[in-house]
Chains A and B, each alone.
Chain A
């Protein structure tokens, strides 16, 4: 089932290209199917003009790792009929149009309860997600300790498992997460939930350094990165910059995400070091 043109390989090639071009990968996040399926698809297409990877969040009724912006967007999307099948349709549409890696962020219960064309449960979810065109899955409430069976299924179907590290992670945890992750590692910039913040914590630089000491995988930083200035700060030491709530809020306000994404993408290009 392994395909050289997708999954881990596609994600790895993208980070390698960004590194060669002297910039951090720009990874915009969208709550999938928010505010509804057509407008979400339009926003995704716009973002893909600037994105190196695109992250799509499956709306969930109880997003306990998310702040108010993504909570509200999830509620709106679910009221508008968002479903796991709807996410799969969106992925298939986008996959036909882009070569960029597509990664899905989802809480665990929709995976555990999944029913789809390939059957029921974790393995069927992984198989259908990969077949729909996703390259990886980000698991905000599944530490690798609880993910053994999901990880095994993801390996069989070449879907990258992207786990999170946090400022509270010990070196032993960083080793565990690194060993379980494929594609890249997602570093949470602050102890907290998603959402825009004026100032990023000083601890994020330290976390990225500690993570890189345990792993050769690229490390992308998310949670609280909202302005081009934030993005430029993070791009100086991280391999990828994830921006979510800022973009979701822009869509919620009915504004155009294009200029916002363009400015953020530009900020991910590291200035050439003089001398």
Chain B
């Protein structure tokens, strides 16, 4: 359905399988099982049914009339992944992978999580399909996202705190891979983003691409056209962005909208504390794939920084790396302060509290919309809701709830 990756798992030069030999047979088996599953109408029907009846798809496409009026330019639509069960796009992928795990006869699933949304979505799918679940989460993120830790526990998952390295998503991923190397025979690793060794970037892209396919249909219905002028999405590893970009990315140039990925600039692009892997990184290998990466001259991985735990990752999916090189998508960056301002604006103007990750994309839409004419259309992928971020936002903004 998509022209990439090639049979060796490459998007141009990016991707591949840079993993310990122990995992190679498991990746072969996964690729084979996925090929069979997606050719099996019964599997695809179960996936579609569960996306509708359990996740709540299709998600709405909401016209942001107030934001459009305030910015005075392009018409802005919000793709409401925040309204999915568990509050983000992550569940699209975990339902797919958990169904695949079950089909492969695996009794145990593991996952890494940054903001906790992927961990919650994995724990949720594991509960629904009767799978044991362990989620790895960095100590720093456990602190930032305490609410999500408890949600995972309520869902029956075991949350293991990771204290090595940066104590964030990068090291949680290392630890999940170590678990998988150790328990590969009975464990399915549910990766949460379009990263990792082949076939994961393809698998996650395919499961998330339901988002872009729905936008095509909904926009056709509302506006009589399948493509907007621009689609904007935040990019950490890049799963929500790939979900909405991929169905458009390989269209001919006349049919393809501007696809704009928004990375986290953290404390600023010259601060050294950011997560702008495409904007400021170089090619390298982490977690099994060649991609744009933040690393030093010796190839040691540099710590990333973002106010949002979900973007706090030093790499970016191989398919995004490919899009960037080929000019299929463009990538910009928004810093913590601008994202926090956008977080507040969307809440006040539209009555929607977005995830801090999503707020980066909103901030860019606020820059972009006024430069475009009123007949232009922007679709913003509202990848998650902000309930999980309220206490962290209060802390960062230095505010306290007003009591009387």
- Contact, CB under 8 Å: A143 / B285: no
Residues from chain B with a CB closer than 8 A to the CB of A83 are 298
Find B22's partner among A109, A110, A163, A168 (CB 8 Å cutoff): A168
Q: Is the CB of B181 within 8 A of A192?
A: yes
B contact residues around A257 at 8 Å (CB): none
CB closest residue in chain B, given A193: B178
The reply to whether A188 and B298 form a contact with Cβ atoms under 8 Å apart is: no
In the assembled complex, the CB of A137 is this many whole angstroms from the nearest CB of chain B, namely 14
From B17, B174, B184, B299, A146 is in contact (CB under 8 Å) with B17
Give A79 to B26 CA distance when docked, in angstroms.
Answer: 35
Contact count band on A: 35 or more
B107 within 8 A of A: no
- Asked if A108 and B181 make an inter-chain contact with CB atoms under 8 angstroms apart, the answer reads no
Tell me whether B284 and A109 are in contact (CB under 8 A).
yes
Contacts of A80-123 to chain B: CB distance below 8 A: 83-84, 108-115
User: How far, in Å, is A145 (CB) from chain B's closest CB?
Assistant: 7
Q: Which residues of A contact B286 (CB under 8 A)?
A: 62, 109
Q: Which residues of A contact B23 (CB under 8 A)?
A: 168
B298 touches A113 (CB 8 A): yes
Interface residue B164 (Cβ < 8 Å from any Cβ of A): yes
Contacts of B25 in A (CB 8 A): 168-170, 173
- Distance in angstroms from B376 CB to nearest chain A CB is 41
- Chain B contributes a number of interface residues (CB within 8 A of A) equal to 39
Task: State the Cβ distance, B136 to closest chain A Cβ, in Å.
Answer: 12
Verify B21–A191 contact, CB threshold 8 A. Answer: no
- Please name all residues of chain B whose beta carbon is closer than 8 Å to the beta carbon of A111 when the two chains form the complex: 299
Residues of A within 8 A of B213 (CB): none
Pick the contact of B21 from A60, A164, A192 — CB < 8 Å?
A: A164
Which chain A residue lies CB-closest to B171?
A: A62
Taking the closest CB of chain B, its distance from the CB of A106, in whole angstroms, is 9
A173–B29 alpha-carbon span in the complex (Å) = 13
Best-buried of B8, B19, B185, B283 by chain A (most CB within 10 Å)? B19
Q: A71 an interface residue at 8 Å Cβ cutoff?
A: yes
Considering only residues 1-58 of chain B, those with a C-beta below 8 Å from chain A are 8, 16-26
Interface residue from B19, B287, B295 paired with A113 (Cβ < 8 Å)? B295
Which chain A positions have C-beta within 8 A of B26?
A: 168
Q: Is there a chain A Cβ closer than 8 Å to B252's Cβ?
A: no
Q: A62-B170, A115-B297, A143-B24 are in contact. Are A191 and B16 (CB under 8 A)?
A: no
Task: Judge whether B165 and A62 touch: CB under 8 Å.
Answer: yes
Is B17 touching A64 in the complex (CB atoms < 8 A)? Answer: no
Partner of A173 from B20, B21, B165 at Cβ < 8 Å: B21
A149-172: which residues lie under 8 A (CB-CB) from chain B? 163-170
Decide if B182 is an interface residue (CB 8 Å cutoff): yes
Decide if B309 is an interface residue (CB 8 Å cutoff).
no
Roughly how many angstroms separate A112 CA and B286 CA in the complex, as a whole number?
A: 11
A75 in contact with B285 (CB, 8 Å): no
A141 (CB) vs chain B CBs: closest residue = B18
Residues of A within 8 A of B297 (CB): 113, 115
- Determine if B64 is an interface residue (Cβ-Cβ < 8 Å): no
Residue among B16, B164, B287 with the highest chain A CB neighbour number at 10 A: B164
For A113, the chain B residues whose CB sits under 8 A away are 282, 284, 295, 297-299
B177 within 8 A of A: yes
Minimum CB–CB distance from B262 to chain A (whole Å) comes to: 25
Residue A65 CB within 8 A of the other chain: yes
* Minimum C-beta distance from B138 to chain A (A): 13
Question: What is the chain B residue whose CB lies nearest that of A115?
Answer: B297
Instruction: Report the Cα distance A78→B165, complex, angstroms.
Output: 11
B174 touches A109 (CB 8 A): no
CB of B55, distance to nearest CB on chain A (Å): 31
Decide if A61 touches B165 in the complex (CB within 8 Å). yes
Question: Is A41 positioned at the interface, with any CB of B under 8 Å from its CB?
Answer: no
Partner of B174, one of A62, A114, A168, A169: A62
Measured CB to CB, the nearest residue on chain B to A87 is: B298
Interfacial chain A residues near B287, Cβ < 8 Å = 62, 64
Chain B residues with CB under 8 Å of A68's CB are 164
B301 at the interface (CB under 8 A from A): yes
Residues facing A in B152-180 (CB within 8 A) are 164-165, 170-171, 174, 177-178
Known: A166-B22, A168-B184. A146 touches B16 (CB 8 A): yes
Assembled-state Cα–Cα distance A25/B171 (Å) = 35
Are B285's CB and A168's CB within 8 A?
no
Closest chain B residue, CB of each to CB of A60: B300
- Contacts A64-B178, A170-B25, A193-B181; is A108 near B300 (CB within 8 Å)? no
Decide yes or no: A112 and B185 within 8 Å by CB, A61-B165, A64-B178 being known contacts: no
Q: Which residue in chain B gives the minimum CB-CB distance to A170?
A: B25
User: What are 27 A-B contacts with C-beta separation under 8 Å?
Assistant: A60-B299, A61-B301, A62-B286, A64-B20, A64-B177, A72-B164, A83-B298, A84-B298, A108-B18, A109-B284, A109-B286, A109-B300, A109-B301, A112-B290, A112-B299, A113-B297, A115-B297, A143-B17, A143-B21, A164-B20, A166-B20, A168-B24, A169-B21, A173-B21, A188-B21, A192-B182, A193-B182
A-B CB proximity, top 8 nearest:
A113-B299, A110-B299, A166-B22, A192-B182, A109-B299, A61-B300, A61-B301, A164-B21
B interface residues with partner A (beta carbon < 8 Å) = 8, 16-26, 164-165, 170-171, 174, 177-178, 181-185, 282-288, 290, 293, 295, 297-301
Q: Given A109-B295, A168-B24, 10 other A-B contacts at CB below 8 A?
A: A62-B170, A62-B171, A65-B20, A72-B164, A75-B164, A83-B298, A109-B286, A146-B17, A177-B21, A193-B181
